[in-house]
Structure 1
Amino acid sequence: ILQIGRQIFGKPTFPNAEVEGLPLPPVQLSLTSWKKQISEIRKLQLRDDDVVLCAYPKAGTHWVWEVISMLLAGQADYEPRAKELLMMDVTRVSKLDKLHSPRVLNTHLPFTMLPAEQMLSRRLKVVHVYRNPRDVMVSMYHHLKQFRLVGTESVHSFVKTFLAGEVIYGHYARYLNQMNRFMNENPELPIYSVSYEDMKSNATDTVRGLAEYLEVPATEVLIADIVAACAFHKLKKVDETKEQVTYLGFQIGQKFYRKGEVGDWENHLTEEEVEMFDREFYKVLDNDRFQFRHKL
């Protein structure tokens, strides 16, 4: 067990698990163990029309998942199920097998823990969402506090925890490194990367680009309808009506929307912390594929 909540900060209510060196959330009561779950995920039978959405936590997965679901359906109607019901990480493979097609599977796991060979052989559509690391850190802090996965530490102390990679799913830069490496090593599988900031600043072009990548017909009217339906405040409200997953006693779909802003880090970090954050984060990041925008 990785004790992310150290004694000096006060321990979290639910300590994290660890598999193959990767910190993971406390195991779902519905799962036997993370080790078994990862083993089954690697053997998950994929389908030719599956779409796989990959992202580090708090990068904007919910938002893009809803957009993709609407594009595949050809209408701006909300998916009645919570995203987590199609999340490989926390859903039993036997349940994923029973879901009707097309499935918009989603995950925070690295490719080493996914059925990557099938993704390659089937040439699946894979979408990657990324977000500037300062906002990811702040959003993750508030997220973990909600789920009691951090103790009494302040956001200022959490900066160091985040930069040490002692958070669920490990270091954000290492996640981006493995994504870049997989893309370089497998050019025959084009992965569509979209940034959270681009979604915020030009949602219309982003939705249009996703439709083109997914090779689904999308009129300008449909694109406009999806953009309107997926406004942050609307998604936050509609999530209250979805079929939810209970996790650690919480209805987790209702816990993921907070502010949805770009640049919220300015409300939390001092100038010295920003300088330290950037310096330490870029020591770990080994590529410049993903261009971050910290403000709009």
Structure 2
Amino acid sequence: MKPLLKDNGEPFTEVLEYDGYLFPNMLGCQQDIDVAEYLASIDELGFEGDEMCIVSYPRSGTHWTYEICNMIKTGRSDFTDTLMPMLEYSPREHLKTAQATNRIYSSHMYPKHMPKQFMAKRCKIIQVYRNPKDVAVSLFNFSKKVTHQYSTGDMGFSEYLRHYRSGNVLCRSWAQWIQEWNIFKKENPDYPLLQIAYEDMKKDLKESVQRISDFLCLNSTPQLIEDIADKCEFNVMAAHKNSNIPQNMELITDIKNTHVFYGKGGVGEWKNHFTVAENEAFDKDMETILPELSLNITYEL
């Protein structure tokens, strides 16, 4: 177990450090578990090739994309009212439920930590990404609502931003995470992986839903695409989620009347938090990284 320390030397959370990545301290909701053994155990779920996984850095639209994918795969514009199955977070029975139903998983892991059989079977992957400044703000706000390993206690935003930039946070830094998946895509150009930007979904959700449907080769009807785009418009979806809180939400938060995974969902919220100096320093960090990514990083609409 590795403590992550505040500037004053006090720990603000604990993680499991393994193979260049910072994993949650309760893999699969289990305490005192060996990371290598856990990764081997999820590989034993057995994958047949028709499964898919949504991968993202935290607070990048994972739950939003999951709802869209579930609607496309089921052919109905109905919301799910349970927590999304995540390979590194969810109990084994939740992963088995996904296996027996829509066969959609999600993860914040690096590609090298994904189940080997999943990758060998070339199961489809959707990588959803969001501009790193809004991710920082969303993660910080999320950290104030939860009681588990994302919690930052009384830490202020400026200090949190320093830890986020340096990778002293769960999942390491946004830059490290996005580079790992960029390298994978370059080295495996034929792997079925769709990259989709959070900001593009905000700008034209119907087009994004169509792209996902085409990628999954499911020939969704124009009416279904329209219905999904209407139901999953962010404010509509968030209103539904906040009125239908999953029963097991108490595992991660003490908040009773809000679905903590759905925040404002806006683009450009970073401008209300970053100082001029912080923004300039962040842009300096990104100078050598962004040109290598070939991704559409949009900071405001």
TM-score, length basis structure 2: 0.88
Partner of 1:88: 87
* Conservation of the 8 A alpha-carbon contact between 1:109 and 1:169: yes
Partner of 1:247: 251
Which amino acid counterpart does residue 191 of structure 2 have in structure 1?
Answer: L
Change (3 A) 1:160 1:67: same
* Conservation of the 8 A alpha-carbon contact between 2:146 and 2:253: no
* Conservation of the 8 A alpha-carbon contact between 2:145 and 2:255: no
Which amino acid counterpart does residue 170 of structure 1 have in structure 2?
Answer: R
* Conservation of the 8 A alpha-carbon contact between 1:11 and 1:151: no
Which amino acid counterpart does residue 135 of structure 1 have in structure 2?
Answer: D
Change (3 A) 1:244 1:192: farther
Structure 1 distance, partners of 2:118, 2:138, is 30
Q: CA deviation at 1:121?
A: 3.4
Structure 2 distance, partners of 1:255, 1:204, is 25
Q: 1:287 is matched with which residue: 279, 284, 292? A: 292
Structure 1 distance, partners of 2:202, 2:169, is 26
SS across alignment from 2:101: coil
Which amino acid counterpart does residue 203 of structure 1 have in structure 2?
Answer: L
Describe the superposition over 1:63-95 as per-residue Cα deviations: whole angstroms up to 9, x where unpaired.
Answer: 111000000011111123221xx2111123454
Q: 1:278 is matched with which residue: 283, 296, 299? A: 283
Change (3 A) 1:172 1:122: same
Change (3 A) 1:244 1:80: same
Partner of 1:27: 26
* Conservation of the 8 A alpha-carbon contact between 2:28 and 2:87: no
| Identity %, equivalent residues | 26
Partner of 1:210: 212
Structure 2 distance, partners of 1:194, 1:28, is 27
* Conservation of the 8 A alpha-carbon contact between 1:55 and 1:61: yes
Which amino acid counterpart does residue 288 of structure 1 have in structure 2?
Answer: L
Q: What is the aligned length?
A: 292
* Conservation of the 8 A alpha-carbon contact between 2:267 and 2:299: yes
Partner of 1:235: 237
- 1:72-111 superposed matches below 5 A: 72-83=73-84, 86-93=85-92, 95-99=94-98, 100-111=100-111
Structure 2 distance, partners of 1:110, 1:52, is 13
Partner of 2:131: 132
Describe the superposition over 1:232-269 as per-residue Cα deviations: whole angstroms up to 9, x where unpaired.
Answer: 22322333425443434557992111110000000001
Change (3 A) 1:98 1:65: closer
* Conservation of the 8 A alpha-carbon contact between 2:126 and 2:193: yes
Which amino acid counterpart does residue 125 of structure 1 have in structure 2?
Answer: K
Partner of 2:38: 37
The structure showing larger relative contact order (alpha-carbon pairs under 8 Å, at least 6 residues apart) is: 1
SS across alignment from 1:287: helix
Describe the superposition over 1:137-171 as per-residue Cα deviations: whole angstroms up to 9, x where unpaired.
Answer: 11111112222521322111211110100111111
Q: CA deviation at 1:101?
A: 3.4
Task: Give the stretch that moved more between structures: 266-275 or 41-50.
Answer: 41-50
RMSD between superposed Cα atoms in Å: 2.4
Task: Give the stretch that moved more between structures: 39-48 or 155-164.
Answer: 39-48
Change (3 A) 1:71 1:181: same
Structure 1 distance, partners of 2:42, 2:290, is 27
TM-score, length basis structure 1: 0.89
Structure 2 distance, partners of 1:265, 1:53, is 25
Structure 2 distance, partners of 1:239, 1:74, is 20
Task: Give the stretch that moved more between structures: 29-38 or 195-204.
Answer: 29-38
Task: Give the stretch that moved more between structures: 33-42 or 180-189.
Answer: 33-42
Q: CA deviation at 1:203?
A: 0.5
Structure 2 distance, partners of 1:27, 1:214, is 32
Matched, 1:269 2:278: no
* Conservation of the 8 A alpha-carbon contact between 2:28 and 2:91: no
Structure 2 distance, partners of 1:9, 1:135, is 27
Structure 2 distance, partners of 1:34, 1:129, is 28
Partner of 1:57: 58
Structure 2 distance, partners of 1:37, 1:57, is 20
